[in-house]
Structure 1
């Protein structure tokens, strides 16, 4: 699994004098402050009004490989501008460089002297890597060299430490994109697990995979209800993947992650129709992001932190043994759940994972609990291309979502903050003495009031986290991250590239 290596370059002049580079990409809102190339830029600007407005490739005798690419960010001083302008412009610039035949471009970012743009160079590199990534199946069929010819990116003005950091983040994002963006047979549950085992080989991350059906039936009853119809096909049988990282030094905090890994979601008995099933191989984006973040942590060898993650790799199949609405299934935490709709399967998988992680959290140092999932269409409808952070009172007390959102803004990995309310818990309350909880209603989440908030309340109650609320003896901060809107570029879940949200934000929050 290769990706463009980030190399620190001291200056523009150094890049111009180094033969290893074959293009120079300048990312800026204005190109009036590049003395080494100013005469050429001015001459081009006199005859090409696109310069400063869009991405342009110029023939330049002074530039490496004679390729000079000017990638315009547009305005940066409006109230609503943010560092994503550099991310997007770098994507355009690197695409031009690749199309022109460059394999080792240098990247020069000119950013305002502002806290909002303090990581603009790193963000531009990550944007370039996002544009260059090609699907795993394509790389395996055609070869990485053919599809991804760019092997190095020189980043001007960053230190070697910064280059190493951004490279580790990209490694995590690339793992997340591979896991999320790969078709459902190549990344069937146990092949998903195999890919994780391979990805963490040689690192400090311990990987264990549970595939025994009897054990899973006993320990993950809600997850296995979702998987029930898949058991008839050996390659579709589920797996629970546990990842553990123990950083050097005294542990100061413990992070616990539950990742939704629906390798394919047909909707089950509540079958997705009218073309809505296309793209559901990406319903494993939450699990992919969990693995990607831990990959970055492992490469950085972050000290003082412990991470425990559980990923549920499951296929929600349709068949004679599919679970159906009205069934009542007791969760790992002992909560009786009445199924409202089988297409609301992700929360069932997550609830059992969270229940296991809750047991780990009880004895952990300074625990913080997360779930990450492509959970609801409502999140995409409500907050668009942002991750939705829904937190409990214990997390709100320590400012967990607020801090994570602030960091995400600086790294082009933004989010919107929400919280659970009393209406959410009323919504999922059992309707009779036969059940404790209702998993969901039967209207699409996108038209259900608080459609991405009430599922978090279900997770709290079904996993037993209500026993660790703010005013209990052992409160556990918990944040649910819904990436249904942020998980792919452009919102096309079948064809767009996975974004690997929120790997960059988590890495910056916990590793910088």
Structure 2
């Protein structure tokens, strides 16, 4: 069932592009002006092809070539690269190249991994793009564990180097983390119900001495400590497998004395979002099993840490798992709820359930952060359609006042550009906080101001800051709205923002 990658088992570092062990070679074709060095065996062959047919610079093509392993070469062009492009252009070319190789019948492709001066992490991004193309959804694997490849080779130079092996090992660990996250995010609402996610997470971390897992599933405890999550889950709680769960995953390095930073991540894990009493209509409900992509990314980041073992980090991940169902016990607009922070919150739209799912866990994280060394809190969520409308398939990154003082959203945007994930920095302004203030007597906060005509992803961050008690607290907090970036059917989940978090927090080897 597992989709696993192992160096020197099914993944290999290859120094000879004419090796008989492979049945095709994939080459990323870069624009001539980048002056990317081609392997000496094929440089004249490639140059002649480009002269014969300029179309090879636009779409992946397969060519017969006696000078490479398998006698065929797949050319995967990046197309024109301008100053506006980031490393995603390499990831996309490698992904398309691998897809084309598989479509051609290759089971043992050899990927040429070139170093591109303009993109410092180009080799890592290239390998990750190729590995991403091999992903098979979990429910396909559970029915038929036939792999779509036998072995994959990576060629950088004609001699082995310690640096390239480290790059390959980083890529393998990161892709294992992303597969874990994609499995959770992409699994259907029953395969990945709250109950099943708990078991899946436990199984995947079994045997890892640097990971501790705590599951909170007692209804009374959840009602007391996570009252807003409990409200969202009321209709779903009539069914055992749909009952809410809080999953706390903690990574501790082997030497606590070396820890210099603590990261606390809260992930939205709504396993299915019907909209609740404010039911989604006109086909808008389809795809809502992806509303757990934030929790999936949190679990995936912990997986990356467990494999790469960063000595300087302590990491706490909190998966807020629930289902927003409709039924006789649904929470409804006009209800006045009391959050764990003590603030009263008026329900205005049950389809704004994501901020409720995370609110109490975020408040607890803010309290716990005061006892940790150099803490930074994240919320990661497919939270608002407005983020997608504003930024397309990029993540909206928003800092509170403390994180903004260190320009953290800009740092993660920079890491994303390096590693092939896109971010837009969005500023939380005073009105994004004040718009959440209650309007009726006795209301501290509104779930969402239904009269607001704009800034919906920013005001959602403002709500989380206020309900989480992070408005004045000197704790760094960054909200990542991945609604546009997480991947919607029929596309596979992206596992965003695992790569960027690993890059910005120096998780890589």
Task: Give the TM-score normalised by the residue count of structure 2.
Answer: 0.93
| 1:2 Cα deviation from its structure 2 partner | 2.1
Q: Residues 57 and 460 of structure 1: is their aligned pair in 2 closer, same or farther, counting only changes over 3 Å?
A: same
The answer to whether residue 168 in structure 2 is matched with residue 163 in structure 1 is yes
| 1:153 Cα deviation from its structure 2 partner | 3.8
1:81 pairs, out of 59, 81, 85, with 85
2:99 pairs, out of 88, 95, 98, with 95
CA distance in 2, matches of 1:326, 1:15: 68
CA distance in 1, matches of 2:445, 2:56: 59
Matches within 5 A, 1:445-484: 448-468=453-473, 475-484=474-483
Contact 2:243/2:323 (8 A) holds in 1: yes
Find the residue that maps to 2:141 and give its secondary structure: helix
The answer to whether residue 232 in structure 2 is matched with residue 233 in structure 1 is no
Aligned partner of 1:248 in structure 2 is: 254
CA distance in 2, matches of 1:150, 1:333: 53
Q: Residues 5 and 123 of structure 1: is their aligned pair in 2 closer, same or farther, counting only changes over 3 Å?
A: farther
CA distance in 2, matches of 1:268, 1:123: 40
Aligned partner of 1:402 in structure 2 is: 410
Aligned partner of 1:175 in structure 2 is: 180
| 1:154 Cα deviation from its structure 2 partner | 1.6
* Cα shift readout 1:239-296 (whole Å, capped 9, x = no counterpart): 1100001113321010001000000000000000000000000000000011111101
The number of equivalent residue pairs is 492
Find the residue that maps to 2:125 and give its secondary structure: helix
CA RMSD of aligned residues (A): 1.8
Give the stretch that moved more between structures: 288-297 or 131-140. 131-140
CA distance in 2, matches of 1:128, 1:252: 34
| 1:150 Cα deviation from its structure 2 partner | 4.9
| 1:47 Cα deviation from its structure 2 partner | 4.3
Aligned partner of 1:52 in structure 2 is: 57
* Stretches of structure 1 lacking an aligned partner (at least 5 in a row): 469-474
Give the stretch that moved more between structures: 294-303 or 59-68. 59-68
CA distance in 2, matches of 1:221, 1:51: 58
Aligned partner of 2:128 in structure 1 is: 126
Aligned partner of 1:471 in structure 2 is: none
Aligned partner of 1:29 in structure 2 is: 30
| 1:46 Cα deviation from its structure 2 partner | 5.1
Q: Residues 119 and 273 of structure 1: is their aligned pair in 2 closer, same or farther, counting only changes over 3 Å?
A: same
Q: Residues 214 and 10 of structure 1: is their aligned pair in 2 closer, same or farther, counting only changes over 3 Å?
A: closer
Give the stretch that moved more between structures: 78-87 or 225-234. 78-87
CA distance in 2, matches of 1:44, 1:141: 42
Find the residue that maps to 2:425 and give its secondary structure: strand
Find the residue that maps to 2:282 and give its secondary structure: coil
| 1:368 Cα deviation from its structure 2 partner | 0.3
CA distance in 2, matches of 1:193, 1:299: 20
Q: Residues 307 and 174 of structure 1: is their aligned pair in 2 closer, same or farther, counting only changes over 3 Å?
A: same
Aligned partner of 1:149 in structure 2 is: 149
Aligned partner of 1:291 in structure 2 is: 299
Q: Residues 505 and 155 of structure 1: is their aligned pair in 2 closer, same or farther, counting only changes over 3 Å?
A: farther
Matches within 5 A, 1:30-429: 30=31, 33-45=38-50, 47-76=52-81, 78-114=82-118, 117-145=119-147, 148-157=148-157, 159-203=164-208, 204-249=210-255, 250=257, 251-429=259-437
Give the stretch that moved more between structures: 258-267 or 96-105. 96-105
CA distance in 2, matches of 1:150, 1:370: 39
CA distance in 1, matches of 2:177, 2:135: 13
* Stretches of structure 2 lacking an aligned partner (at least 5 in a row): 158-162
CA distance in 2, matches of 1:94, 1:48: 21
CA distance in 2, matches of 1:344, 1:351: 12
CA distance in 2, matches of 1:466, 1:40: 61
| 1:361 Cα deviation from its structure 2 partner | 0.3
Task: Give the TM-score normalised by the residue count of structure 1.
Answer: 0.92
* Cα shift readout 1:38-71 (whole Å, capped 9, x = no counterpart): 3433454454332222211111222111221111
CA distance in 2, matches of 1:132, 1:285: 20
CA distance in 2, matches of 1:258, 1:151: 37
| 1:184 Cα deviation from its structure 2 partner | 0.2
